[in-house]
Amino acid sequence: MTTNGKPKFAMYWADSCGGCEIAVLNIHEKVLDFDANFEVVFWPVAMDAKYKDVEAMDDGSILLTLFNGAIHTEEHVHIAKLLRKKSTLLVAFGSCACEGCIPALANLTSKPAIYESVYQSISTDNPDRIEPQTVVTVPEGEIYMPELYPVVRTLDQVVPVDYYMPGCPPESHQVADPLYP
C-alpha cells in the first residue's frame, strides 16, 4: 500500500463537469499536503496517467481513491471496477458519483434523442449528420471511442463503495479538513 513510506492516492473523473477536480485543487497550498502525505499514482486530469500502470499495481495497493462522476460509458465501468480492485478505500466523491446528479438527467430520454440534440440541432454545424462511432478508421489507424450506455448509473450501482462525499462539488474545506485532524 505504500511506496517510499507514503500511501497511494488516486482520483478519477467519469461523467461530470469537472467541479470535483476543481474542489480538490481549490484547497490552495494545502494541495501540497497530498504530495507530502500520499504518492499520487493515478489522477488523469492532473498528471500523465495510463490505465496500464494501474492495471499493473497489486490489488489493494492504492489506499484512497476519490471517484467523481456518474457511470455512462463502458470505459467508466472498466475504470470503476479496476479502481475498486486496486483500492482499499473507494470514495464516491461528489453528487454525480453518489446520486447521478445532472448526468443522470440523460435517463429521462433515449440515446438516439441525446445524439439528435447534440449532433443535429440548429446550433450544431454538422451538415453530414456525423455521429460518434465506437471505432473509426483514420489514416493513422483505428480510433476507439467508449460506448455510451443508454442508462446513467451511480458508482455504487457498479461497484461497492466505502464512503460517500456528496456535494456539487464537495466544498473545498471538506476536502482539506481530513488532512488536519
Domain that holds residue 38: 2-107+151-179
> How far is it, in rounded angstroms, from Cα 20 to Cα 96?
9
DSSP 3-state of 129: coil
Q: How far is residue 72 from each of residues 44, 113, 122, 163, measured CA to CA in Å?
A: 18, 15, 25, 21
- 64: how many CB neighbours lie within 10 A of its CB? 19
Domain assignment of residue 93, yes or no: yes
Sequential pLDDT tens for the chain (181 residues): 555 789 999 999 999 999 998 888 888 888 888 778 899 999 998 899 899 999 999 999 999 999 999 999 999 999 999 999 999 999 999 999 999 999 999 999 999 999 998 898 888 898 998 888 999 999 999 999 999 999 999 999 999 999 999 999 998 888 777 554 4
> How far is it, in rounded angstroms, from Cα 152 to Cα 92?
15
Domain assignment of residue 118, yes or no: no
What CATH number is given to the structural domain containing 44? 3.40.50.700
> How far is it, in rounded angstroms, from Cα 81 to Cα 22?
24
**Nine cell digits for residue 70:** 456518474
Domain assignment of residue 12, yes or no: yes
